[in-house]
Amino acid sequence: MRAQPTTVATVVRTPIAVVTSSATLEQAASLLAADELGLLVVVGPNGLRGVFSERDLVSAVADRADLAVERVVDHASTDVLTVPESATLDEAAGVMRDAGIRHLVVTRRGEPFGVVSIRDVLDALLSSLVA
């Protein structure tokens, strides 16, 4: 009998860590550091505006952005890749590999509700190999 594939729902981190589109880069950096996060979901008055990752922060610093003045929305990735909570860990890993990213927004009924990282996926896949 073949085991059912493990889904993203088993490793998703909730609630989503959110930053407003009007927040400064400095504020976003503080949120990332305080909660040891790799990704913030950027929201504005009309909902999801993008995602802001530690990589986006490093790029802004390398570009000599004024962290106290420049807005997170101007440095966020706007092409947000998502997977439904029913996606398998293998599917999520494939999306991250193909896109060269380390985090995915997880959706429930089409709405963002959590985030999964490549570390979360890898830990779960490795655990299933030794179980």
pTM (2 d.p.): 0.86
pLDDT averages per 10-residue partition of the chain, 131 residues: 73 93 97 92 91 96 97 95 95 96 93 93 85 61
The whole-angstrom separation of Cα 46 and Cα 118 is 29
What are the structural domains, with CATH classification, of the chain? 8-130 (3.10.580.10)
Question: Token pair 């504005």 is at which residue?
Answer: 44
CB 41 within 8 A of CB 18: yes
Q: pLDDT value at position 47?
A: 86
Which string of DSSP letters, residue by residue, matches 45-85? TTEEEEEEEHHHHHHHHHTT--TTTSBGGGTSB-S--EEET
Q: pLDDT value at position 1?
A: 37
**Cβ atoms within 10 Å of 100's Cβ, excluding its own:** 7
The whole-angstrom separation of Cα 38 and Cα 8 is 17
